[in-house]
């Protein structure tokens, strides 16, 4: 029994711990370096996809602000809270990975079809680190070509938040993200 009970305790801990060990208002995907830069998120292509606006260069005078297809994801930790509460919790991360337009004509019709990756952007809601930002949201760019930068510094408030003020929910453009609207119901 002496040997079995500690083993039992360990196994029980492995099974049970994940249910209540989530850090208080903390997202395990959100990491900072010693200078307060945000580390490039890992594994985001396996996160929850929320929507894909496209702003093609050819519809924006050759210079789209975000060229061109936007793959937008939310981290799964924050998504599970959003499903339950309908709010974006502290630590929420929204990734926007950009692709070029590969072609405008395919067998399924005329339109816009992705080519190659060309940018990684991130929005983070975190009152602990970004208390002075509207809604505590800060915005980051990790470059325009994979492999992206390992860390990024927050953009000045005005450069991003000016646009996000017209977003439907808490600076997030849920009006373009049916996946989030459906998750909230």
Binding mask 68-107 for a second copy (x = CB under 8 A): -xxx-x--x----------------------x--xx--xx
| 41 scored as a contact of a second copy (CB under 8 A) | no
Q: Are 119 and 66 in contact (CB under 8 A)?
A: yes
Q: Which residues pair with 103 in a beta bridge?
A: 113
SS3 at position 9: helix
Paired residues of 48 in beta bridges:
74
Residue 72: how many other CB atoms lie within 10 Å: 23
CB nearer a second copy, residue 127 or residue 167:
167
Q: Does 155 bind a second copy (CB under 8 A)?
A: no
Sort 41 into a burial class: Cβ within 10 Å, 0-12 / 13-18 / 19+.
buried
Report the alpha-carbon distance of residue 55 to residue 87 in Å, rounded.
27
Q: Does 55 bind a second copy (CB under 8 A)?
A: yes
Residue 177 binds to a second copy (criterion: CB under 8 A): yes
Site for a second copy contains 1 (CB under 8 A): yes
Binding residues vs a second copy (CB under 8 A): 1, 4-5, 7-8, 11-12, 14-15, 45-46, 48-49, 51-56, 59-60, 64-66, 69-71, 73, 76, 99, 102-103, 106-117, 146, 163, 166, 173, 175-179, 182-183
């Amino acid at each position: 029994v002496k040997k079995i009970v500690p083993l039992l305790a360990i196994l029980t801990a492995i099974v049970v711990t994940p249910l209540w060990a989530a850090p208080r208002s903390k997202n395990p995907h959100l990491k900072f370096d010693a200078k307060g830069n945000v580390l490039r998120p890992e594994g985001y292509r396996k996160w929850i996809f929320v929507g894909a606006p496209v702003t093609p260069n050819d519809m924006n005078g050759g210079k789209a602000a975000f060229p061109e297809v936007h793959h937008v994801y939310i981290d799964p930790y924050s998504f599970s809270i959003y499903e339950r509460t309908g709010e974006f919790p502290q630590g929420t991360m929204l990734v926007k990975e950009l692709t070029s337009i590969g072609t405008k004509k395919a067998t399924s019709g005329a339109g816009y079809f992705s080519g190659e990756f060309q940018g990684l952007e991130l929005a983070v809601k975190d009152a602990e680190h970004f208390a002075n930002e509207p809604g505590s949201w800060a915005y980051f760019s990790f470059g325009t070509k994979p492999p992206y930068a390992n860390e990024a510094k927050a953009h000045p408030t005005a450069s991003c938040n000016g646009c996000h003020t017209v977003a439907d929910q808490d600076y997030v453009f849920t009006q373009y993200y049916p996946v989030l609207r459906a998750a909230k119901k």
